[in-house]
Chain A
Amino acid sequence: MDWWFFLEVFVGGLLSGVMYSLVALGFVLIFKASGVFNFAQGAMVLFAALTFVRLLEMGIPMLVAVGVTMAIMVILAIAIERIVLRPLVNQDLIILFMATIGLNYFIEGMAQLVWDSKVHVLDLGIDEYDAFEIGEAFINKFDVYAALIAGGLVLVLSLFFRYTVIGRALRAVADDHQAALSVGIPLRTIWIYVWSTAGIVAMVAGVVWGSKLGVQFAISSVALKAIPVLIIGGFTSVPGAILGGLIVGCGEKLAEVYLGGFVGGAIENWFPYMLALLVLMIRPEGIFGEKIIERV
């Protein structure tokens, strides 16, 4: 058993898991604050990344591009709140979920219509092939930086939810829309905040993934991978998104390397889902999620 190789795969898995977490974070934000599972998060990642990279290509300096992209994501959030969320405010969550599936298609189409669907190389100035050497294991530098970014973002968000007034308001809204309204929490403003934040998180995720893979349509399918992350970690937990991401990232890499050989490879396509299914059967609310209690 080559332990250095194992370490390499393990850490590589952890790091790619962190990237999943980044995407999952956006989901958690919106779910926590509005109870909606935003299927369109992946499309938002794509849209944000495309906007950013195209702005860069047009020669706009990086910091300005970041600002402009953030502004655009906020505008998107406002539009979503007004056109999609407001009319559906009292509907079943299933209906809202399906609306976000529709939104996903819409944003994907729009992103590619506006910016085109070629693959764009995103160069952040970090060499993707440079690696730290630990013993005989090579740990990719880029992955480490991405992990640090994600970690930082998670910390900020966790603190935000716990200690700020807006954070508490968000949690109230997640619990019960009507109740939150009745204590004077401005639902619509909250939703705009949340979707904007999710949009910015999407931008960070998009930039990170985009530099790794190139900005292209396939990025939005990364969002599908975020689903098992959320199941395992719990839909309402920010640390859960991290833990879930780590488990999924690690799990799928290890499974691919060590089990994949026996069955023809490409296990990572379905392994996270099976893992999620297992967790669902044992602990339906996920590792950090809140138990759902139904009362008649």
Chain B
Amino acid sequence: MFYREAGQFKTSYKKDQAILPIFQDKIAMVAMLLFCFIVIPLFANDYWLASILVPFLALSLAALGLNVLTGYAGQISLGTAAFMAVGAFASFNLQVRVPEIPFLVAFLWGGLCAAGVGILFGLPSLRIKGFYLAVATLAAQFFIEWLFTHFDWFTNYSTSGVITAPPMTLLGLAIDNPLSKYFLVLSIVVICAFFVRNLARSEIGRAWMAVRDMDIAAEAIGINLMKTKLLAFGVSSFLCGLAGALWAYVVLGTVEPQAFDIARSFEILFMVVIGGLGSVSGAFLGAGFMILLPILLNNLGSLITGGTISTETIAHIEYMVFGAFIIFFLIVEPNGLARLWQLGKEKLRLWPFPY
């Protein structure tokens, strides 16, 4: 009843092309933002903020980045974590060598470096497609991992091999407690999501989707494949780099290559697939799923067996559940949670009538 859009007639193209054309969606978005910015900080405890929400947001950003590349532009990437690593290390290196630089600028720099590296490893996409391209990104993954582990220059010759992330201060306020970190990451992620949503509904987004759907036809209507693909790699890697910097600075507090290994790349890929390729909300849904599921399984496990299952066994079961879910989603709804959500909304439009 309340979700019906009947009677909402758009009187101009401008209104029809607004970011949230349906009035109820606008309300929902405002409500959600209020919830995130006001309600959660008031009620969430430190554990939730630091161990669940902040990692969730950071990984959502990475998933957003990968979604740009794989979901919108159709280029498979198995090297997401490598681009995150570049972001983290580039930010760190800039701050270490030029200490006066505000950390946000360092983050931007990290993103730009990641974008550059992304474009470099995206060059093969001009000749190869599909999962052959995934190989190029795998090369990026292993090579960059190796680079950061083997050349001390990147860790600023730290003797212990573990670098602590520099402290962050914004306008004199130290960002060192869960609440301030939460606000920082939330703001960055919301802004980026806004940008990606805008890109998706404009000329660039359509060019990406055209390349994804049928590149030969895209060329026939004048789309320059090279520029479009490289732009996708650039934007995507920028976001992943930013996410990597956030991951290192805010979540881990350290800058280490091990946090950006191939398991991480697969994790983000899973998020994007489960959440729904080619949708902004999908990135968040997928990230939420991947973060909450282990916690759920853990709690469920202890509940059922009274705490006798080893963490190892839980880990194995997690693997199995993840794998099963991926297969399940691909069979039932290849467009992931986002599509299921959309279908739900469509049902809601008719509710309480069945059709």
Contacts and interface: CB of A to CB of B under 8 A. Distances in A.
B291 interface: no
Contacts of B36: none
Contacts of B323: 102-109
Contacts of A37: 131
**How many interface residues does chain B have, given as a range?**
35 or more
Contact of A99 (B138, B145, B149, B330): B330
B319 A109 contact: yes
B326 A113 contact: no
Interface in B48-97: 76
Interface string B250-270: 000000000000100010010
Interface string A98-120: 11011111111110110001000
B351 interface: no
Given A93-B130, A228-B135, A273-B143, A106 B334 contact: no
A97 B131 contact: yes
B139 interface: yes
Interface in B186-208: none
Nearest to A102: B326
Interface string A263-288: 11111011001101100110010000
A281 B124 contact: yes
A197 B143 CA distance: 34
B127 A284 contact: yes
A25 B319 CA distance: 26
Contacts of B273: 98
A109 B136 CA distance: 27
A227 B76 CA distance: 15
Given A108-B319, A280-B128, A224 B330 contact: no
A121 interface: no
A137 B326 CA distance: 49
A84 B316 contact: no
A98 B331 CA distance: 11
Nearest to B74: A94
Interface residues of A, number: 45
A95 interface: yes
- The winner among A88, A263, A266, A277 for most chain B CB atoms within 10 A is A277
A273 B142 contact: yes
A269 B146 contact: yes
Given A87-B331, A102-B325, A106-B319, A277 B130 contact: no
Interface string B96-118: 00000000000000000000000
A31 B267 CA distance: 25
Looking at chain A's contact residues, the main secondary structure is helix
Contacts of B160: none
A103 B124 CA distance: 28
A296 interface: yes
A117 B316 contact: yes
Contact of B139 (A104, A106, A108, A277): A277
Interface string A64-79: 0000000000000000
B324 interface: yes
Interface in B301-321: 312-313, 315-321
A104 B76 CA distance: 18
B136 A280 contact: yes
A37 B138 CA distance: 15
A91 interface: yes
A277 B217 contact: no
Given A109-B315, A273-B139, A281-B127, 16 more contacts: A37-B131, A91-B330, A98-B273, A98-B326, A98-B330, A102-B324, A105-B319, A113-B313, A113-B320, A117-B312, A231-B132, A264-B151, A273-B135, A277-B139, A280-B136, A281-B124
